[in-house]
């Protein structure tokens, strides 16, 4: 999903950004939300939305944002 307008005013500078739901391969009933980014500390808009596809393999990268550790997702190379 590409929220437009951004969900919160604080994210307006990073629009367009993605918000994704990731299903874990080892536990398909567990799903996590986050953003697909180019690198763990990259901005939320660092991946071109045209590169995103349903079912694309990703791997997690944990990043600290304002003192909270959050999961972000990196596209796996195919």
Q: Which residue has the higher pLDDT, 69 or 78?
A: 69
Q: What is the pTM of this model?
A: 0.86
Domain extent, residue 47, equals 9-75
CB–CB of 51/38 below 8 Å?
Answer: no
CB–CB of 14/6 below 8 Å?
Answer: yes
Q: Which residue has the higher pLDDT, 10 or 42?
A: 42
Domain count, the chain: 1
Within-domain flag for 2: no
Within-domain flag for 4: no
Q: What is the pLDDT of residues 52-67, one digit of tens each?
A: 999 999 999 999 989 9
Within-domain flag for 27: yes
What are the residue ranges of helices labelled H in the chain?
none
Within-domain flag for 47: yes
Within-domain flag for 48: yes
pLDDT at residue 9 in the model: 87
Within-domain flag for 29: yes
Residue 78 has pLDDT above 70, yes or no: no
């Amino acid at each position: 999903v590409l929220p437009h307008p951004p969900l919160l005013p604080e994210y307006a500078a990073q629009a367009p950004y993605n918000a994704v739901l990731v299903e874990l391969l080892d536990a398909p009933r567990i799903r996590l939300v986050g953003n697909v980014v180019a690198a763990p500390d990259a901005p939320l808009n660092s991946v071109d939305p045209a590169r995103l596809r349903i079912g694309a393999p990703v791997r997690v990268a944990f990043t600290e944002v304002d003192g909270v550790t959050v999961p972000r997702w990196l596209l796996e190379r195919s």
